[in-house]
Amino acid sequence: MIKSVKLRLAIVLVSVVLALIYLFPTMSGKVPGWWGNIFPTEKIHLGLDLQGGIHLLMEVDVEKAMHVSTDRMTDSVKRMLLEEKIKVLEVTQTETGTVKFILEDASELEHLQTFLEERVPAWEHMSTQGPVIHYLVSEKDQDRIEKLALDQAVETMRNRIDQFGVAEPEIRVQANNRILVQLPGIKDTRRAIDLIGKTALLEFKLVNDQFDPTKITVAELGNNLEVLYEQTRDPETNAVISRRPYVLEKKSLMTGEYISNANVRFNSQFGEPYVSLEFNSQGAKLFDKITAASVKRRLAIILDNNVYSAPVIQERISGGQAQVSGRFTAKEAHDLAIVLRAGALPAPIQILEQRAVGPSLGRDSIRNGFVSMVVGFLLVVVFMVIYYRLSGLVANLALVLNLLFIMSILALAQAALTLPGIAGIVLTIGMAVDANVLIFERIREELRFGKTPRAGIESGYGKAFLTIMDANVTTLIAAIVLYQYGTGPIKGFAVTLSLGIVSSLYTAIFVTRLVFDIVAERNPLKKLSI
């Protein structure tokens, strides 16, 4: 322990001033302009449970992403084989994710194998049975593709959220292909989920008018046709009101990846909102080609397997523009434009966990937390003064400083204060005086042995020190484990509890000892008020 009272006093004063500086922005609400040039301006950050907002945990279906990627690869391998003149009857992806080749002539096996080894190194040979050969994407590449899908999903979500305009969103990748999104201040959960979780895969497919969609059989559909629906939903309940079927050619002519911009426009006749699309130059060329080839046919615009509209192509469209209309509300059109601009998710996602706190509950929680903190504090403070008299006042000073330090470190570290976090602070109030109780009880013991106040203080602090350390380290272990395993607001409890423990060591031992020493220096104590 440092001997010089002056030096110790300086350390305490400096730490108190620093704490006040970090707390000032939170306390004052608004800081003067010059303050920001010299001092920190960050306020204590409130958790979602206190300021209101939405917490979403999602899982990206990476298997699906894997499947799509293998499908694409299979298509291009098919073309390559044609160029290479290796005749195959079939190249398809099986249900288990392997790629199946059926050779026309089994003797070409070796040719195929060397070709694939060279051109598609990501595929590993699995098995050969006569002309039937199976390949599988290597584990390394599977991991790579899955990681790419996850990164892409996060990127797309971040884009969408940024465009929607949320202050301080948090988007984090977690284990098991999960993504955690926190949106402070957002109330409408359904809208948020739609915005973030929509795959938003836009496709253009031709309508086949030769068949009646209500009567077509599975045999007639075959491999190249499919039936998709145009659904009308009740704007309020989101329930499907009507479904209109279309027979479509399965092959998608173009997808949303060529979109360069999307905006909400209003129909001049009825004022109905629609989304106008602009393609990039590559997309414009492609769209020009598609429309030129299919004038007078109907082109369906499909989003996530729902048909939005299927207008007749009146003439070739070369301007690189298209529109998606449907029965949107203005809000829906606005959000659709965002997701189309931000791009599609690489794979569908599933919502695993969803928590939303409204602003009114957040306000109530802050009030309840604050009131219970003040009442708990007063109870302890009064008790300490009754039980330990003047020494109790010293312990109370330590308690006030402890609260000050916890709060200022929260502001400094920008750790979120949550409702369980407030509970942690309140609990700390009760537990932090423990160090002083230990010391004071020890001093009382020493005094009963007939020691002078000064010697009693000296040996009381000395003997209690190790005990206090041991007792606090174990609580700290529990708090750190909780931080590691806790989720959301619970983490906030671990944070304030740990901060409280560490800072109470400083205030309850260092600061109170200093006070006793200062008093003892000025006037030698005859009797200790303890």
Partner 1 sequence: MQFFNSDKMNVDFIGKRRLFMIVSAIAILVGLASLMVRGGLNYGIDFAGGTMVQVRFANDVGSDELRQALAGVDMGDVSIQQFEDEEAHEFLIRVEKSKTDLVGLSDEIKVVLDEVFGSENVDIRRVEMVGPKVGKDLRRQGMLAILYAMIGILIYITLRFEFRFALGAIVALAHDVMITVGVFALLNKEFSLPIVAALLAIVGYSLNDTIVVYDRIRENMKGSGKLDFIGTVNRSINQTISRTILTSLTTMLVLVSLFFLGGGVIHDFAFAMIIGVLVGTYSSIFIASPVVISMQPKKK
Chain positions 85 to 114 lying near partner 1, rule: CB under 8 A, are none
Which stretch in 80-88, 139-147, 314-322, 386-394 sits in contact with partner 1 by CB under 8 A?
Answer: 386-394
Distances (CA, A) of 6 to 1, 106, 512, 523: 13, 93, 14, 16
Tell me if 368 contacts partner 1 by CB under 8 A. Answer: yes
DSSP conformational letter for 305: T
Run of H or E including 302: strand 299-303
Interface pick for partner 1 out of 252, 323, 372, 459 (rule CB under 8 A): 372
DSSP conformational letter for 228: E
CA 272 to mean position of chain CA atoms: 35
Q: How far is the CB of 507 from partner 1 (least distance, A)?
A: 15
Query: Within positions 62 to 81, which residues make up the interface with partner 1, using CB under 8 A?
Result: none
Tell me if 384 contacts partner 1 by CB under 8 A. Answer: yes
3-state helix, strand, coil in the chain (%, to 5): 55, 20, 25
Tell me if 383 contacts partner 1 by CB under 8 A. Answer: yes
Closest by CA to 79, choosing from 95, 91, 66, 93, is 91
Q: How far is the CB of 518 from partner 1 (least distance, A)?
A: 25
Tell me if 441 contacts partner 1 by CB under 8 A. Answer: yes
Q: How far is the CB of 167 from partner 1 (least distance, A)?
A: 21
Interface pick for partner 1 out of 21, 393, 482, 519 (rule CB under 8 A): 482
510 vs 504: CA distance, rounded Å? 9
456 vs 449: CA distance, rounded Å? 9
Tell me if 173 contacts partner 1 by CB under 8 A. Answer: no
Interface pick for partner 1 out of 110, 236, 271, 523 (rule CB under 8 A): 236
Interface pick for partner 1 out of 113, 159, 163, 189 (rule CB under 8 A): 189
Q: Can you give the C-alpha Rg of the chain in angstroms?
A: 34
Which stretch in 26-34, 205-213, 314-322, 417-425 sits in contact with partner 1 by CB under 8 A?
Answer: 417-425
Q: How far is the CB of 203 from partner 1 (least distance, A)?
A: 24
Interface pick for partner 1 out of 97, 222, 319, 358 (rule CB under 8 A): 358
Instruction: Give residue for tokens 């075959």.
Output: 222
Tell me if 433 contacts partner 1 by CB under 8 A. Answer: yes
Tell me if 357 contacts partner 1 by CB under 8 A. Answer: yes
204 vs 198: CA distance, rounded Å? 18
Interface pick for partner 1 out of 57, 195, 342, 505 (rule CB under 8 A): 57
Q: How far is the CB of 47 from partner 1 (least distance, A)?
A: 12
Closest to partner 1 by CB, 401 vs 426, is 426
- Name the β-bridge partners of 56: 181, 354
Interface pick for partner 1 out of 267, 282, 487, 529 (rule CB under 8 A): 487
443 vs 450: CA distance, rounded Å? 11
Q: Phi and psi for 358 in degrees, rounded to 5?
A: -75, 160
Which stretch in 6-14, 144-152, 401-409, 440-448 sits in contact with partner 1 by CB under 8 A?
Answer: 440-448
Burial grade of 380 (CB within 10 A; 0-12, 13-18, 19 or more): buried
Strands 259-266 and 254-255: unpaired
Binding-site size for partner 1 (CB under 8 A) equals 78
Token pair, residue 158, equals 């971040």
Instruction: Give residue for tokens 């009030």.
Output: 367
Which stretch in 211-219, 276-284, 337-345, 425-433 sits in contact with partner 1 by CB under 8 A?
Answer: 425-433
Query: Within positions 314 to 333, which residues make up the interface with partner 1, using CB under 8 A?
Result: none
Interface pick for partner 1 out of 30, 215, 448, 522 (rule CB under 8 A): 448
Strand order, beta sheet including 273-279: 259-266, 273-279, 321-324
Tell me if 474 contacts partner 1 by CB under 8 A. Answer: yes
